[in-house]
Amino acid sequence: MGYPAKIQQITRKDFNQYYINFPRPIALAMNFNKGDIVEWEIVDKDTLILKRRQVEIAGQKRI
């Protein structure tokens, strides 16, 4: 099942910014938290992949 979302454009003097909001069911299913770092990967003009970046916590060892 898909969840539609609108792309918002903020027009500034020197540049434009684009925003997309995640529907709540997606944010809950993905267990997103404020400040999570994610990365977009462009597959083609119709497909984006959103990956959660693993941020290393001080003192934590990678497995």
8-58 confidence digits (pLDDT tens): 999 998 999 999 988 899 999 999 988 899 999 999 999 999 998 876 565
Nearest to 22 by CA among 31, 10, 12: 31
Q: What pLDDT shows up at residue 54? A: 76
In a domain, 39, yes or no: yes
> How does residue 63 score in pLDDT terms, banded at 50, 70 and 90?
low
Cβ–Cβ under 8 Å, residues 21 and 30: no
In a domain, 1, yes or no: no
In a domain, 31, yes or no: yes
Entry pTM: 0.63
In a domain, 59, yes or no: no
In a domain, 58, yes or no: no
Number of domains forming the structure of the chain = 1
Distance (Å, whole) CA 53 – CA 16: 25
Distance (Å, whole) CA 4 – CA 2: 6
Domain limits for position 27: 7-52
